[in-house]
Structure 1
């Protein structure tokens, strides 16, 4: 149960970062250069890796596909 709870919280955290702090600023790369002060435990290298993965064409394809599936529900 503990590992399941941790996995859910980790997924929710990544979702929050992506939805609130990365995707709205895809056109403003300046805001994506530095990690958030709100989450000071996220290092620069981790932040850069997260931003790069969320702005990759592979993620964009999966994201748009899942968005279309959610609209049908």
Structure 2
């Protein structure tokens, strides 16, 4: 799939995508990691709502969010 972006639009599209990616990671952290910081069992698998997240990616994401 491809999109045709007008003159100068590439920067805007990439910036918007970056903001949305950051918001998604923040939402995952606030709603699905931090509330269960003391319940490691609940952090073993991605949330049911986000079944498309592969376990290996989820494990790496959780580890990165729990590290200092």
TM-score, normalising length: structure 1: 0.75
Q: Give the CA RMSD over aligned residues.
A: 0.6
Give the greater-gyration-radius structure (CA).
2
Gaps of 5+ in 1: 59-73
TM-score, normalising length: structure 2: 0.80
Aligned residues: 57
For residues 1-73 of structure 1, the aligned pairs below 5 Å read: 1-56=12-67, 58=68
More helix by share: 1
Runs of 4+ in 1 over 2 A off after TM superposition: none
